[in-house]
Amino acid sequence: MKIIYIQHYAGSSDLGPSKRVYDHSLALKEYGHEIHIIAASFSHLRNKQPIVKGIYASEIIDGINYHFLRTPKYSGLISRFLNILVFNLLLVIFLPFFIKIRPEAVISTSTYQLDYIP
């Protein structure tokens, strides 16, 4: 089964401590599922940020497909809100690309409710 996991702050074994989605994806992968995690390029929860030179970057980490959408860095409430808005706007823009993955399930687990809109 192909599964898309939308988690704004998703991490990994390499990126840092926000890795609940990563651990869950590893468990699903063991059952033969193909996992695609869509995350923002910047998160205050990570020790290390992924390298995203354009507006989008894709990489495979431990057999899990990561898709990073370039979002602005933030240090306060207003810039963090801008980061959230940009992430959700890019979700809408990249929706045709993610539909081509042909997921059988989409899981959205961000801490705010905006990413349910796309």
What is the number of domains present in the chain? 1
41 touches 71 (CB < 8 A) = yes
Per-residue pLDDT of the chain (118 residues), as tens digits, is 999 999 999 999 889 887 889 999 999 999 999 999 999 999 988 889 999 999 999 999 999 999 999 999 999 889 999 999 999 999 999 999 999 999 999 998 877 665 555 5
Q: Report pLDDT for 71.
A: 96
Picking from 26, 36, 49, the residue whose alpha carbon sits closest to that of residue 6 is 36
Range of the domain at 112: 2-116
Give the C-alpha distances (Å, rounded to integers) separating 22 from 18, 39, 53, 80: 8, 11, 23, 23
